Chains A and B, each alone.
Chain A
Amino acid sequence: MQTKEFLKQMVEATGVSGSEGPVADLISQVFSDMCDDVRRDVLGNVIGLKQGCGEGKRPTIMLAGHMDEIGLMVTKIDEKGFLKFTQVGGVDQRTLVAQEVVVHGREDVMGIIGLKPPHLVPPQDRNKAIPMHELQIDLGLPVERVKELVSVGDVVTIKRSFMELGEDIVSCKAMDDRAAVAVIYECLQELKKLKHTADVYAVATTQEEVGLRGATVSTYGINPDIGIALDVCHGAMPGVPEQDTAPMGKGPSIAFGANIHPKVFEQLVKLAKEYNIPYTLDPTPAGTGTDLWAMQVVRAGIPTALLSIPSRYMHTSVETVSMTDIKLAGRLLAYFIASIDTAFVEGLLCY
């Protein structure tokens, strides 16, 4: 399967934080063709293992891209059958108005987040964002039927199909962070052509959007020698300062700073230069706001690195990424894995 097709299937699948089942099933199935073993842990993380070659103790590298997406959750069914809801993860309430949604109840139910028509809005309110607690989902069903289909705690996603914008850019909900799982897929494909001694744990993590929870426990379980997180970063766009973004289509962004082990960072940059893979640099003084922040401080500490795919419009339902960036990141990651031996791992404790 082409990486683009896998990405399309992933972003169109459902997997709100804590309810990643459908997208996890898809990823498990695809990983199982490329890995020696695929399992799921207690928090639902999908963990694929692709063994390295050679006898004796092999270095272990964990790749983490989160598969959960932000979404909504039903808090109450009112007497008319409208649904009140709250957010799961950081949802911008302004993006919700006039969206078609899917309520994942006993079965999937179509709904609409409506709003008062402009004719009825007093002039002084027209410039104000509608707060989430004033919005509601209209299922167009009688209340008795709603209660049969939906219960408090059901998750809701924006209804959105994968779109190709021009040659290279693709757009949908949940590119954050399934684009990263696509990078892992691309990397596993590349690794088929390379010889690597390291055991690779390909992990699609859960519950990143609510507090890096899946990465916390999966890293504890795997206890890797090196942990690499893949995530999206802000793509360059008008109105946002250059130093807060990375250009789209110019390769992955490689972060460095306290959250990243300096030697792992240097190795990534060295290999990118060696193999002519374009990249940009992202100086980050403290938290990267990704799974990596949790991974680094698991047990007695994990050497870490971060590759990011530039994405415009993060946490909307039209997040965009460049397929070129995904391919380049996957390739760099594969070369990195092929370059790691026991001596490199031992050197990581010598500051």
Chain B
Amino acid sequence: MRSLFQNADAPFLTRDQAKSLTDRVLGMAKADETRLTLNTGWSGNTRFAGAEITTSGGITDTSLTVTSTVGKRRASATTNVLDDASLRRTVDLAERLARLSPEDPELMPELGPQRYLTVNAYVDATAALTPEARSEAVKKAVDAARDAGRATGDMFVAGFLEANAGATCLATSRGLFAYHPSTDVSLGVTARTPDATGSGWSQGAARNWTLLDPAALGRRAAEKAVASRNPVAMEPGMHTAVLEAAGVAQLVPSVAGALNARNADEGRSGFSKPGGGTKVGEKIVDARVTLFSDPADPDLLAQPFDADGFPLARRVWIENGVLKQLAYTRFWAQKQGKEATGGGGGGGGGFGGTPGGLKFPGGSQSLDQLIAGCQRGVLVTHFFYTNVLDARSGLMTGLTRDGTFLVEGGKIVRAVKNFRWNEAPLIMLNKIEEIGRSERTRVGQVMPPMRVKDFNFASLSDAV
């Protein structure tokens, strides 16, 4: 049993143990200000391919980062060796590095005690996922996939199951103490037909292991693989696209990732206005698009503070198509007279990822309904190797993968070869025909499937 609060032998530190460790280390510090970041956790994983387990592992580790501030100088040192001598050496190193570093004019003081949203992101069932239980789950997924693909022969099944249980803890010399335990688990399955012309994929992720159904995931991957056999070449061009939620989840978060207010103010973002200023308050995408972060949302359950210990709250970035606000670090907020949103990480740093999770509440239609409403288009399971081609517009490129289909007259007609596409999410969000029902695409992320016009499928890929 890996339960956090009942078992003194839990492979990561309890709140009391973390408090006692951080108190001890703060007692060693001589800098003007000190912040401690403690990451403590266990991770268990099982990887499989060719319908057998290829590697599996169990890892326990606790690491402590000491961030020291002397005047306007700051630096950090990290160790996972937690005896007193090593801790003292790490504190000394951080303080020495800080003294040697030049002054940082953008340095913000460490935070004192804060109030955070209550987020219960820890589930015992996930923390208790033993090697035997993981093997059993993998067997269920593999067996279901092989059964579902039986008609095509011996299905090649590969995938990965990983469970994490642990806690993040922050403490500062100004009296802040934050401890957030969490669990997460994901299971991904890829099935390939024996003739190597079909490939399918499915994935589930949750804080709570009991919400995942390994057999259903295996079955879905295999069904996709069988349906995607013998794809034909379809002429590249601007086609209507029905994107499953997993595909949308590979495009839309880049919009949130570009919300950095400083970049926009400095004229180097898609949210900058030519000639100065930002697009806040302007309608930038379809009126059906709303994007927000909220650590306490039951579908997100994200950590309620950022790397500085700054409290994360509900933030609506885009509402009914209008850009409502940009992301402000503490430094940039103070400089511009705005409210900080968190996600900074100390000085003038960027807006990394989307702390507080990201949710795109969708419509009411199912994926099948989105397909039924499509006269002629391409159904996309998900994407691969997406990357930004042009920072100004956020133009991305990438490929379709694991099940790409021609839809005609509201029905899936046949499998087509994969495409490379070049498309800017901000432009795509202005070409929406219909938004479907949203679902959890990964832990801390909820996205809907959607049907969009004129998606730029640029060239063919022979990859299966």
Please determine whether chains A and B interact with each other in the same assembly.
Answer: no
Q: Which residues of A approach B to under 8 Å, CB–CB?
A: none
